[in-house]
Amino acid sequence: MTQPTRVVQVRTYWLIVGIATMVLSPLLSFGAAVQIGQRNAEKAVVANDEAKELARVESRRITCAFFSSSLDVYKENPPSTAAGKAQQANYAELYRISGCQPPRVN
């Protein structure tokens, strides 16, 4: 005697749900990965801009400190030669151009 074959019946609903899940899951994952990548790129750009601004501020602070200390030396020991006076005037002009605070008067 032969055994009867077992027939598995799947409702059409489950077949559609299964196929839709297999098709949509990779697409949704890809979309989420793209969005995450874009968000990370935007964060990197913002962090880069902040780092540039901090570097610019630090550079300006160092520049102003250099010109200020150079002018302080000339204030303590005024130059006697024309070249020394010209150098002092150059430092004062560079101090002013750099936007250092407070404004100095020779």
Per the CB < 8 A criterion, the answer to whether 83 and 74 are in contact is no
- For 13-66, what is each residue's pLDDT tens digit? 988 999 999 999 999 999 999 999 999 999 999 999 999 999 999 999 999 999
CA 102, CA 38: separation in Å to the nearest integer?
A: 43
**Domain ranges for the chain:** 56-106
Whether pTM > 0.85 for this model: the answer is: no
CA distance 41 to 47: 10
Q: Answer whether residue 106 shows pLDDT above 60.
A: no
Supply the pLDDT for residue 101: 80
Residues in contact with 99: Cβ distance below 8 Å, sequence separation at least 6, in sequence order:
60
